[in-house]
């Protein structure tokens, strides 16, 4: 064989092998057992910041969900494109952040203004939900007020959420309430524990008001993750993920996510688990592939 022909054949062969290897890596492991959901811009080192390309890349890696807390603030045209691509890939969209808490008229103090704010926020969330084919919207009730007994504040939040439910329920929207920890990230917030959120959901007594169980926050606030999942199960509408300490991917901290995911899977959960955390390797392709590998390990049950 002539040298030029030999080099050409070798180059073609190497390119073919490289392409096959890349494809094999993309498909490695198949689909995840649970619907872990990367952020809409989780893989910039691989595909840039275009949300559509991120969705495609995530789907190729086996992920079956995506999430974007700021989705409601994006242009309508982009919301529609995101929703169409997620549906095309057979994925589900996790809860998006909704309005409804008014700093001047907080839910914990009740009253007409607080009620009007949460009703307006719910109506806006209903429109976004219809547009993007998502039935979950995230709500944080706001700060605790030192001037009023906790029980009165709880009653005010329950009453206000009942008005929100009257708007959400006919539209098929589920408002998920997220307890956030006091000790590391959110000191002074009203809602910070799963039992507290459970009590509120039971009192509101609507299929449209449920709990978003953020496992990172709850490991800090109370731990006992699996028993609390079981006790609150009927009121849990979604999950967020993050290991502690550090709020990075599963396997980077103290939570045994293999057992937690196995338990959630055994209960028949098919909703989204939003990957609301950073990467222990920082940024770049190596960090992004490390993130994917961490979920492969956590999903190995």
CB 190 within 8 A of CB 143: yes
DSSP assignments along 158-209, one per residue? HHHHHHHHHHHHHHT-EEEE----TTTT-TTBS---HHHHHHHHHHHT-TTE
Copy the structure tokens of residue 105.
């008229």
Q: Give the integer Cα–Cα distance in Å for 237 and 198.
A: 11
Residue 231 in contact with residue 222, Cβ under 8 Å?
Answer: no
- 129 and 13, same domain (yes or no): no
Same domain for 22 and 34? no
Same domain, 70 and 219: yes
What pLDDT is recorded for position 28?
56
Which single residue is written with the structure tokens 């699996």?
Answer: 226
Average pLDDT (254-281) is 98
For residue 17, the model assigns a pLDDT of: 38
- The domain tally of the chain equals 2
Residues 44 and 72 sit within 8 Å (Cβ to Cβ): no
Q: What residues contact 17, with CB distance under 8 A and at least 6 apart?
A: none
Report how far apart, in Å, the C-alpha atoms of 286 and of each of 45, 55, 61, 137, 292 are. 9, 19, 15, 33, 10
Q: Are residues 65 and 157 in the same domain?
A: yes
Q: In this predicted model, what pLDDT tens digit does every residue of 140-177 receive, in sequence order?
A: 999 999 999 999 999 999 999 999 999 999 999 999 99
Tell whether 16 and 70 lie within a shared domain: no
pTM across the whole model: 0.89
* Predicted local distance difference test score (pLDDT) of residue 148: 97
Q: Say what the pLDDT of residue 10 is.
A: 40
Task: Give tens-digit pLDDT for 198-217.
Answer: 999 999 999 999 999 999 99
Cβ neighbors of 185 (< 8 A, separation 6 or more) are 217, 220
- Average pLDDT of span 279-293: 98
208 and 195 co-located in one domain: yes
């Amino acid at each position: 064989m002539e040298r030029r022909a030999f080099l050409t054949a070798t180059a073609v062969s190497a390119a073919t092998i490289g392409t096959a290897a890349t494809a094999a890596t993309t498909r490695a492991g198949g689909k995840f057992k649970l619907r872990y959901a990367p952020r809409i811009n989780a893989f910039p080192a691989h595909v840039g910041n275009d949300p559509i390309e991120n969705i495609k890349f995530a789907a190729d890696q086996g992920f079956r969900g995506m999430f974007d807390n700021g989705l409601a603030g994006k242009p309508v045209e982009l919301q529609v494109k995101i929703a169409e691509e997620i549906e095309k890939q057979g994925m589900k969209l996790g809860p998006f952040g909704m309005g409804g808490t008014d700093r001047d008229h907080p839910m914990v103090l009740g009253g007409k203004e607080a009620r009007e704010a949460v009703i307006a926020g719910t109506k806006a969330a209903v429109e976004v939900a219809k547009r993007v084919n998502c039935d979950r919207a995230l709500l944080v009730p706001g700060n605790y007020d030192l001037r009023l007994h906790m029980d009165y504040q709880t009653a005010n939040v329950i009453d206000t959420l009942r008005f929100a439910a009257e708007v959400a329920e006919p539209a098929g929207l589920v408002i998920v309430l997220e307890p956030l920890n006091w000790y590391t990230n959110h000191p002074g917030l009203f809602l910070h524990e799963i039992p507290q959120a459970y009590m509120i959901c039971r009192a509101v007594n609507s299929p449209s008001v449920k709990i978003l169980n953020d496992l990172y926050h709850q490991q800090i606030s109370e731990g006992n993750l699996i028993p609390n999942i079981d006790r609150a199960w009927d009121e849990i509408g979604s999950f967020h993920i993050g290991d502690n300490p550090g709020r990075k991917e599963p396997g980077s901290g103290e939570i045994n996510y293999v057992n937690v995911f196995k338990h959630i899977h055994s209960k028949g959960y098919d909703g989204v688990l939003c990957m609301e955390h950073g990467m222990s390797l920082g940024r770049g392709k190596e960090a992004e592939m490390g993130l994917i590998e961490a979920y492969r390990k956590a999903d190995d049950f």
